[in-house]
């Protein structure tokens, strides 16, 4: 029993240790900022990984939920007078509700039909965020009030680094818990054969909806963090390109690898920063990464490396 506990949460413990030690190597606040972004997107990636890597579904519009979380903490305080922390939970609840309502019909679809339906849904949300200017500030976006908890204001890259790293560790632990449980086994079964899962008594539609809602909440939390961290939010945060980047992160890191979400996020977030002199080439590089990963490394980095070290072919 002990052994199982250790093996399940060991990767997360390792990440936690690295996250605690890493800042010792940060020369400036800029590094805190980039690392915080990596953890935030990785958090959204965990949810998407549960949906795609474990349950075998796909969502090409998940940035829409990031947008809901982001705009919730902007609109809540600005237009509704709600404190940021309440808006944060409201955003998560709203994402869950939207996912629940849209998920039922959408998850009846499979393969590229599901892919395009989620794409359409995500883009629709993005269009709404862009057009409802009196609410959202339109294409130029709107300011996001700082998060204030019991008189303490969360400001600065360093603070947000610790918040997002801790949230990632917690989020990853929850996900790993889920995987090693009856629900997790049911999701993995659904991935391999929905019909077999059904005849074994698994309510496939309900399970798919559940993991869709969970993944939407992960994305919403990440979106709220992003908005509160940056102090400003634009509709781009929920756009088609962001959704694609999120999927690329999950695939790159390894579908079915929670820690892989961190690796994938690190690559997608850090690369444009590292190549900032190649800013104009951002799309070219992103496009090449996506194509390269899907063609040559569809299993993702972490599983391929793991298999390599275990002596088996991926």
Partner 1 sequence: MNILSVDHLSITFGGVCAVDGVSFDIAEGLVFSIIGPNGAGKTTLFNLISGLYVPQDGRVLLAGEDVSGWTPERLACRGLSRTFQNLQIFFRLTALENVMVGRHRHERTGIFTDLLHLPAVERQNCETREQAMAALARIGLQTMADRPAGSLAYGDLKRLEIARALATEPSVLLLDEPAAGCNAVETAELEGVIRGIAKDGVTVVLVEHDMRLVMNVSDRIHVLANGRTLAEGTAAEVRADPAVIQAYLGGQEVGRAVG
Partner 2 sequence: MAELLQFIFSGLTVGAIYALVALGFTLIYNASDVVNFAQGEFVMLGGMTTVFLGLAGVPLPIAALIAVIATVAVGVALHRLAIEPARGAGPVALIMITIGASIFLRGIAQIIFDKRFHSLPSLFGMDPIRVGGAAILPQSLVVLSGAVGIVVLLWVFIDRTLLGKAVIATAANRLAARLVGIDTRRIVGFSFAVSAAIGAVAGILVTPITLTSYEVGTLLALKGFAAAMLGGMGNAIGAVVGGILLGLLEAFAAGYLSSQYKDAVAFLVILAVLFAMPQGLFGRAKVDRV
Residue 95, both tokens: 């994402």
If one asks whether residue 166 binds partner 2 (CB under 8 A), the answer comes out as: no
If one asks whether residue 177 binds partner 1 (CB under 8 A), the answer comes out as: yes
Min separation Cβ 218 and partner 2, Å: 20
Residue 232, both tokens: 């400003």
Q: Which does 202 bind (CB under 5 to 8 A by kind): partner 1, partner 2, none?
A: partner 1
What is the distance between the alpha carbons of residues 84 and 86, in angstroms, rounded to a whole number?
5
Binding mask 117-156 for partner 1 (x = CB under 8 A): ----------------------------------------
If one asks whether residue 7 binds partner 1 (CB under 8 A), the answer comes out as: no
Q: Which does 119 bind (CB under 5 to 8 A by kind): partner 2, partner 1, none?
A: partner 2
What is the distance between the alpha carbons of residues 121 and 144, in angstroms, rounded to a whole number?
25
Minimum CB distance to partner 1 smaller for 81 or for 105? 105
Minimum CB distance to partner 2 smaller for 68 or for 227? 68
199-258: which residues touch partner 1 (CB under 8 A)?
199-204, 210, 214
Minimum CB distance to partner 2 smaller for 41 or for 161? 41
Q: Which does 151 bind (CB under 5 to 8 A by kind): partner 1, partner 2, none?
A: none
What is the distance between the alpha carbons of residues 170 and 191, in angstroms, rounded to a whole number?
25
Query: 247-262: string of b/e by CB count within 10 Å (b at 16+)?
Result: bbbbbbbbbbbbbbbb
Q: Which residues pair with 142 in a beta bridge?
A: 233
For 310, list phi and psi in degrees, rounded to 5.
Answer: -80, -5
Q: Which does 297 bind (CB under 5 to 8 A by kind): partner 2, partner 1, none?
A: none
For 149, list phi and psi in degrees, rounded to 5.
Answer: -120, 120
Min separation Cβ 158 and partner 1, Å: 30
Choose the stretch contacting partner 2; rule: CB under 8 A; options: 15-23, 31-39, 101-109, 205-213. Answer: 101-109
**Which of 120, 143, 203, 206 touches partner 2 (CB under 8 A)?**
120
CB 238 within 8 A of CB 63: yes
Q: Which residues pair with 223 in a beta bridge?
A: none
Binding mask 47-76 for partner 2 (x = CB under 8 A): -----------x-x----------------
Q: In 3D, which of 60, 11, 66, 3 has the Cα closest to residue 258?
A: 11
Question: For 290-304, what is the HEC assignment?
Answer: HHHHHHHCCCCHHHH
Choose the stretch contacting partner 2; rule: CB under 8 A; options: 12-20, 87-95, 237-245, 260-268. Answer: 237-245
Rounded (10°) angle between helices 258-274 and 157-179: 150
If one asks whether residue 191 binds partner 1 (CB under 8 A), the answer comes out as: yes
Q: Which does 314 bind (CB under 5 to 8 A by kind): partner 1, partner 2, none?
A: none
SS3 58: coil
274-303: which residues touch partner 2 (CB under 8 A)?
280-291, 294-296, 298
Q: Which residues lie closer than 8 Å to 32 by C-beta, 6 or more apart? A: 23, 26, 157, 158, 160, 161
If one asks whether residue 101 binds partner 2 (CB under 8 A), the answer comes out as: no
If one asks whether residue 189 binds partner 1 (CB under 8 A), the answer comes out as: yes
Opening angle at CA 209, ends 204 and 212, nearest 5:
125
Site residues for partner 1 per CB under 8 A: 1, 4-5, 174, 177-178, 180-186, 188-189, 191-193, 195-204, 210, 214
């Amino acid at each position: 029993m002990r052994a199982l506990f250790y093996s399940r949460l060991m990767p997360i413990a390792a990440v936690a240790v690295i996250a605690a030690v890493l800042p010792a190597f940060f020369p400036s606040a800029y590094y805190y900022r980039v690392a915080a972004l990596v953890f935030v997107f990785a958090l959204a990636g965990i949810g998407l990984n549960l949906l795609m890597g474990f349950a075998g579904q796909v969502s090409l519009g998940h940035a829409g939920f990031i947008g809901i979380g982001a705009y919730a903490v902007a609109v809540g305080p600005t237009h509704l007078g709600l404190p940021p922390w309440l808006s944060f939970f409201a955003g998560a609840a709203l994402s869950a509700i939207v996912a629940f309502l849209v998920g039922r019909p959408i998850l009846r679809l499979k393969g590229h039909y599901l892919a395009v339906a989620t794409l359409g849904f995500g883009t629709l949300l993005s269009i709404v965020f862009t057009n409802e200017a009196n609410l959202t500030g339109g294409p130029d976006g709107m300011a996001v009030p700082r998060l204030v908890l019991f008189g303490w204001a969360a400001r600065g890259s360093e603070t947000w680094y610790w918040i997002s790293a801790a949230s990632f560790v917690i989020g990853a632990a929850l996900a790993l818990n889920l995987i090693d449980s009856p629900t997790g086994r049911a999701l993995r079964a659904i991935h391999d054969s929905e019909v077999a899962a059904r005849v074994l008594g698994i309510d496939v539609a309900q399970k798919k909806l559940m993991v869709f809602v969970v993944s939407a909440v992960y994305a919403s939390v990440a979106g709220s963090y992003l908005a509160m961290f940056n102090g400003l939010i634009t509709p781009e945060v929920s756009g088609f390109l962001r959704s694609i980047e999120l999927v690329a992160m999950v695939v790159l890191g390894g579908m079915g690898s929670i820690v892989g979400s961190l690796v994938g996020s690190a690559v997608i977030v850090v690369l444009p920063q590292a190549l900032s002199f190649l800013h104009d080439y951002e799309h070219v590089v992103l496009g090449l990464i996506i194509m390269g990963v899907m063609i040559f490394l569809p299993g993702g980095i972490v599983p391929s490396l793991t298999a390599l070290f275990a002596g088996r072919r991926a």
